[in-house]
Amino acid sequence: MSNGLGWLRAEKQGIYLPEVDCWIDPSIPVGKALVTHGHADHARGGHGHVMATAPTLAIMALRYGEQSSPRPVDYGDTVSLGDGITATFLPAGHVLGSAQILLERAGERVIVTGDYKRRPDPTCAPFEPTPCDILITEATFGLPVFVHPPIALELDKLVGALVERQDRCVLVGAYALGKAQRIIAELRARGFSDTIYLHGAMEKMCALYEAHGVPLGPLALVADTPLDDLRGKIVICPPSALGDRWTRRLPDPLQAFASGWMRVRQRGVQRAIELPLVISDHADWEELTSTIVELAPQETWITHGREDALVHWCGLHQIRARALDLVGYDDEDEN
Amino acid sequence: MERFAALLDRLIYTRSRNDKIALVAAYLRETPDPDRGWALAALTSGLNFPAVKASTIRDVVATRVDPLLYSLSRDFVGDTAETASLIWPRQPSDKPPPTVSEAVETMAGMSRSTVIAELSRLLDRLEADGRFALLKMATGALRIGLSGRLARTAFARAFNLDVDEVEEHWHGAKPPYADLFAWATTPEGQKPAIDPLAFKPFMLAHPLEEGSLDLKAFAVEWKWDGIRIQLIGDGSSTKLFSRGGEEISGAFPEIASAYNIRAVMDGELLVRGDVQGGEAGSFNALQQRLGRKKVTSAMLDEFPAFVRLYDLLVEDGDDLRALPWMQRRARLERAIVQLPPDRFDLSQVIEASDWETLVQLRDDARTQAYEGLMFKRRDSIYSGGRKVGLWYKWKRQPLAADCVLMYAQRGSGKRSSYYSDYTFGCWTAPPDQGGELLPVGKAYFGFTDEELKWLDAYVRKHTANRFGPVREVEKTLVLEVAFDSIHLSKRHKSGLAMRFPRIARIRTDKPAEEANLIADLMAMVS
């Protein structure tokens, strides 16, 4: 297999379209970038021109400040990049605004999935499977041990812990963009109407979600709440705040961590997690492999994570596949 | 099986001993017989399935999973049973998940030729957590830090029983402990008979407030610096138990085989060495032996063990525990002559009638193989547990050294946001002569809550380096560390190991250059 198609190739810093000098999710500032979603390992600030969905641009503005020449693209809209190349943004089901990017030129179709999942998520549009010649897929959970349980089971555990220990609060470490809002929205969907308390770092992102039409119900800041009022409550913080001094303002917090990595017990034990919640916004092994089968591309390029196992699986199933060697890609804050 | 799997999972993530006891107690209350008995045995490593070897799990997985996908996963997960439980591709089974009892019976009935197929069928009936519990149970390697003592405490808690009474009746009972559960849960259930040759709960001592005893009523003995041990012989075979009720016969076979009488005795296990006048080796030497299931003949030669006896609980089938200490002592002195003197001797009674002499004896203790004095009421029965007024321990004053804080690590549970585990060091030579700091110990208590806050803030402000969860700090803070004794150790670069170190004081008044030298600590080695 070559390094690309002539009009599209994989570079260390991202997927590159040389004829129009345009990058997808570049890890360094470039002149022209298409960005799949707002997580820091895909969206960097400082590009000359940046094209993404409106929510992703809003997230980038929140995190990096106003970007120069942002160009919003709606899901399903096809834009011309020049030289006969077009890009179409399609829902990826990962977080608010997340997109796959379909690149086409002279009848050749390439899908860059970005990060994606196939399970329903009340905070974002569902993944839209799109046939293609080349599938460039993520592989964050690219090992067959990673099978995410239904989120309802994990939320049962969360709510159960809350009921069991009314004298404590349950502190959920969850990524500030996506995971936190999904957990809140899923709790609301099952009728949990109690106030949910937030670490300060969560506040603006939650407001952004609400502004984009994702209602999150009653929220309050830990900083504004007396310690005793937090007993029997759910508190959400970024994973980095678990075990931090900040937790001393909480009543005997029971530490939970919502992450696909919690599938492996030692990952939780090492971080002194008492309540592991296997909740992920990435495709698990089943989703990764069944998506490849469903889209039936001629070639699959694999990046973002544990590529080896997925490449080997493709070989076992006579699917042409190769691992891309992109720098700087791993799930921020989840490891 | 799912309930047991859920319990196992919760135990893995629970650090507090009390929370673990509560979890096990709730499980025992709510689970029917005989599942709860088998589960209890599994948790305390009381189950063994000869057909299931460590390699069996790999072989079972290999029947369904590509070997490279398995080994990539195993490398990531780090545990064979867990990898297998997560990766197992279930085939549809029309049977419900097995109960713990069914799983135990099935696994007990497996042979080397049937184990792959039968284990696969069990796995097909379970979700990932259940498969994990099954495989951990199958290999007998639960490793969740649940001691027999903790399990018995949970049993007592579950059914409102006295834990010492539970201890008394426990030993000799066999999984799934039907008679124990019948006693605990039904009005007609009888207490299981006490086997005179089963483990007896140890009698424990309270710390003594100086000068608060009537010396005439008490006998005084040395408090030996070894391992408390109970010897149970039926004349032909002998079992040794540690204070937690764990059998340690395998680690000290020379003691077990030399103990050739029908009696239950209480004493201190010591290692002969040249440190203390050829009498008893250091506790450190003993540690080399403890915790090993089997010992090599080299270890037997290097660390020969003996027992210093101080009580006789059962003799020729007669339970003597209700007799006063004086009478038991007299019978012990007579019985001991039957035992080989190179392996067994008698803990001497110290003649001293005034506190002045006793204080001096106690504080001289450091140079000897003892760590203080014991006071035993002459008319006291042998009563399991810690009863007020009968036995007292009186430890010598601790040693102390000024050390420099080198590293800190976060604690667990309520201390998980605090840097509360401290590694400290002393100088190899005076620092102005090129001396360096080498770690001499680690302590995580001794300080007040206020001092902990101060130390935590200090660590955060003076961090020089981070290594995962460990912070290296600037070498500026002097801690006065108290410890019971200090020993030579090959494990540590400084060549020293402290016993029972704790932070006595924070010495902000003292510059780090004036902390103690390694040589100062060497001079304290006992």
pLDDT per residue over B413-461, tens digit each?
677 788 999 999 999 999 989 999 999 999 998 999 999 999 999 999 9
pLDDT of residue B66: 96
Q: How far apart are CA A217 and CA A225, in angstroms?
A: 17
Sheet holding A32-34, edge to edge: A9-11, A14-17, A22-24, A32-34, A49-52, A70-72
Question: Does the beta carbon of A141 lie under 8 angstroms from any beta carbon of chain B?
Answer: no
For residue A313, the chain B residue with the least C-alpha distance is B69
Contact A125, A93 (CB under 8 A): yes
The predicted pLDDT at position A27 comes to 92
What does the pLDDT read at residue B366? 57
pLDDT of residue B525: 84
pLDDT averaged over chain A?
93
- The CA distance from B261 to B247, in Å, is 18
Give per-residue pLDDT as tens, A247-293: 999 999 999 999 999 999 988 888 889 999 999 999 999 999 999 99
Residues of chain B found within 8 Å of residue A263, distances taken between Cβ atoms? 86
Phi/psi of residue B277, each to 5°? 55, 35
Q: What is the mean pLDDT of residues A171-182?
A: 97
Whole-number Cα distances in Å, B182 to B105, B154, B186, B188, B191:
21, 16, 5, 8, 8
List CB contacts (< 8 A) between B460 and chain A. 245
Picking from B77, B416, B456, the nearest residue to A272 by CB comes out as B416
Which residues of B are less than 8 Å from A264 in CB distance?
A: 76-78, 82, 86
Confidence of residue A327 (pLDDT cuts 50, 70, 90): low
Could you tell me where the beta strands, DSSP code E, fall in B298-342? 305-315, 318-319
Half-sphere exposure of A90 (CA within 13 A, CB side): 18
Can you tell me the mean pLDDT for B27-47? 91
Selected for mutation to probe chain A from B69, B419, B471 (highest A CB count within 10 Å) is: B69
The total of other beta-carbon atoms located within 10 Å of residue B178's CB is: 15
pLDDT at B142: 73
Nearest Cα to Cα of residue B372 among B499, B243, B227, B208: B208
Each residue of B58-77: pLDDT tens digit? 999 999 999 999 999 999 99
Using CA atoms, how far residue B333 sits from B322, B330, B370, in Å, is 18, 5, 21
CA distance A170 to chain B (A): 14
Q: How confident is the model at residue A82 (pLDDT cuts 50, 70, 90)?
A: very high
Going by C-alpha positions, the residue among B526, B219, B227, B484 that lies closest to residue B374 is: B219
Do A306 and B414 count as a contact with CB atoms less than 8 A apart? no
Q: What is the mean pLDDT of chain B?
A: 89
Chain B positions in Cβ-Cβ contact with residue A268 (cut-off 8 Å): 13
Res. B5: pLDDT tops 50? yes
Average pLDDT over residues B504-516: 91
Beta bridge partner(s), residue A285: none
What pLDDT score was predicted for residue B273?
64
Specify the range with the lowest mean pLDDT, choosing from A67-76, B215-224, B237-246. Answer: B237-246
Which neighbouring-strand residues pair with B373?
Answer: B222, B394
Residue B418: alpha-carbon gap to chain centroid? 26
Q: Is the pLDDT of residue A241 over 80?
A: yes
Tens digits of residue pLDDT in B494-509:
889 898 899 999 998 8
The domain spans of chain A are: 9-145+282-323, 151-277
User: φ and ψ at B374, to 5 degrees?
Assistant: -115, 140
pLDDT at B332 over 80: yes
Please give the ipTM for the structure prediction: 0.93
Inter-chain touch A265–B72, beta carbons under 8 Å: no
Q: Are A114 and A138 in contact (CB under 8 A)?
A: yes
Contacts of B76 in chain A (CB under 8 A): 143, 145, 264, 306
d(CA B281, CA B305): 9
Average pLDDT over residues A235-244: 93
- A145 to chain B: which residues are within 8 Å by CB? 73, 76-77, 83, 86-87
Domains of chain B and any CATH numbers:
2-139 (1.10.3260.10), 203-395 (3.30.470.30), 399-522 (2.40.50.140)
Q: Which one, of B315, B284, B320, lies nearest residue B302 by Cα?
A: B284
CATH topology of domain A9-145+282-323: Metallo-beta-lactamase; Chain A (3.60.15)
Closest-CA distance of chain A to residue B468, Å:
11
Distance from CA of B70 to the nearest CA of A (A): 8
Residue B410: pLDDT band with limits 50, 70, 90:
confident
Mutation site, B77, B412, B461, interface A, largest A CB count within 10 A:
B77
CATH entry 1.10.20 includes domain A151-277: no
The mean pLDDT of B304-318, rounded to a whole number, is: 92
* Cα→Cα distances B165→B113, B233, B344, Å: 44, 22, 30
User: Among residues of chain B, what percentage have pLDDT more than 90?
Assistant: 58
| Whether B13 and A275 lie within 8 Å, measured CB to CB | yes
Evaluate whether A331 touches A283 at the Cβ level (below 8 Å). no
Place of tokens 């090129």: B434
What pLDDT is stored for residue A3 in this prediction? 54
Q: Is B79 on the interface with A (CB under 8 A)?
A: yes
> How far off is chain B from A284, nearest CA to CA, in Å?
12
Q: Within a 10 A sphere around the Cβ of B490, how many other Cβ atoms? A: 9
Sign of CA dihedral B30, B35, B36, B39: negative
Please say if the pLDDT value at position B491 is more than 90: no
Residues on chain A touching B13 (C-beta within 8 angstroms): 265, 268-269, 273-276
Strand partners, A102: A88, A111
- Cβ count near B443 (within 10 Å): 22
Interface contact flag, B73 A268, Cβ < 8 Å: no
A145:B77 CB<8 A? yes
Q: What is the mean pLDDT of residues A32-39?
A: 97
Q: Select from B93, B96, B86 the least CA-distant residue to B128.
A: B86
For residue B161, give every residue at least 6 positions away whose Cβ sits within 8 Å of its Cβ, in sequence order, or none. Answer: B155, B184
Q: Is A270 exposed, middle or buried (0-12, 13-18, 19+ CB in 10 A)?
A: exposed
Range with the poorest average pLDDT among A15-24, A49-58, B244-253: B244-253
pTM of this prediction?
A: 0.81
* pLDDT for the residue B281: 56
What is the 8-class DSSP label of residue B194? P
Indicate which of B2, B61, B74, B86 best probes the interface with A, i.e. most A CBs within 10 Å of its own CB: B86
More confident residue, B116 or B140: B116
